[in-house]
Amino acid sequence: MFTTVDCPVTTLATDTTCTASYTLTQVDVDSGHVANTATVTGTDPNGTDVDATDSTDTLIPAGPAITLVKTGTLNGSAAGDSIDYEFLVTNTGNVTLDSIVVDDPMFTTVDCPVTTLAPTESTTCTASYTLTQADVDAGQVDNTATVTGTDPNATDVTSTDTESVSIPAAPAITLVKTGTLNGSAAGDSIDYEFLVTNTGNVTLDGIVVDDPMFTAVDCPVTTLAPTESDCTASYTRPRPMSTPSGRQHRDGDGHRPERHRRLTPTPSRCRSRPRRRSRWSRRHAQRQQRW
C-alpha cells in the first residue's frame, strides 16, 4: 500500500513507532473497508533476520444519499402545448450509486443519460408532457417525481421533488351576427344567426346571447371549449298585424305596439230640421187643396 513506511529509528532496544498515510479510493469507500498486511524485518547481532506480520481491516461507513430537483418549462398555454421537464439528479453521498431511475406518474418513462453516479456527480434526465384542456382550465400542473439509486450494499436511497407549473388563463369570446332578408315587403322576415366562438384558452360555460330585438335567443349549447363554435341560432320575425288604418303593429319581438288614431268616421250627433212655413204659406196651401 505504501512506497515507504517512515520509522524514526532503525535500531531498537525496545520499540519504536513507524507511520504511513494512505489515501482512500472510491473503490475502497464503495467496498466499505480497507484490509492489508504489513511485515517488519530486523537483523540480530549474529546477522540473522527476524520478521513479524500483522493485518488490519479498517471499516469505512457508507453514507449513500441522492437529491432530485425537478423543473418545468411551459411552451404555450393551450391544450396540446407542452411542458418540458428536467430532473437534476445528484449523488450527494460518499458511495457510488447505480441503477438510478426517475419515476414520475405523468410519464411512462423518464430518459436519463446515465444510470450510475459517483459521489458529487450529477445527471439531467428529461421528459415532455402535453397539456390537456383540464390542465389549462385548472390553471396549473402539479406533480411529484421520485429518484431511486442503489448503493454498493444493495440498499436503495430515494429523493422526491414536486414542481408546480402555472398556466396563464386567457379567456376570450367572439360573436358574429348575420341576417338574411327573406323578401322586401311588409310581413316578410329576416333570419338571424349568432355565431359564438370561444377564442380563448379555457372552457367557457353559462354562454347566453342577449339581443334587445328578441325576448330570448336559443343557443343549442351553453358550454364551449377553446376553438369550438357550436352555438348558433336562427330567428324569423313573424308577419306584422295591420290596423284598420293600414299601419302595422309591431309584434312580441321586444317592441311595444304603436298607438294608432282611429280614422273610421263616426256619425254626427247633430240632426237637420225642416224649415218652418210661415202662416201665409200654410193658408195658401190650404186654398190650393180646395181648388
- Specify which residues 74 forms β-bridges with: 83
Instruction: Count CB neighbours of 180 within 10 A.
Output: 11
* Residue 138 backbone class (left: φ over 0; alpha: ψ -120 to 50; beta: rest): alpha
* Residue 275 backbone class (left: φ over 0; alpha: ψ -120 to 50; beta: rest): beta
Show the beta-strand stretches assigned E in 120-252: 122-130, 140-150, 156-166, 173-182, 189-198, 234-236, 241-242, 248-249
Residues lower than pLDDT 70 in the chain? 231-291
pLDDT for 14 equals 84
* Nearest residue to 167 via CA among 205, 127, 130, 197: 130
pLDDT for 183 equals 86
pLDDT for 284 equals 54
Q: What is the pLDDT of residues 23-52, one digit of tens each?
A: 999 999 999 999 999 999 999 888 899 999
* Nearest residue to 116 via CA among 128, 101, 98, 89: 98
Neighbour-count burial of 211, counting CB atoms closer than 10 A to its CB (0-12 exposed, 13-18 middle, 19+ buried): middle
Going by the DSSP 8-state scheme, the letter that residue 254 receives in this structure is T
pLDDT for 279 equals 55
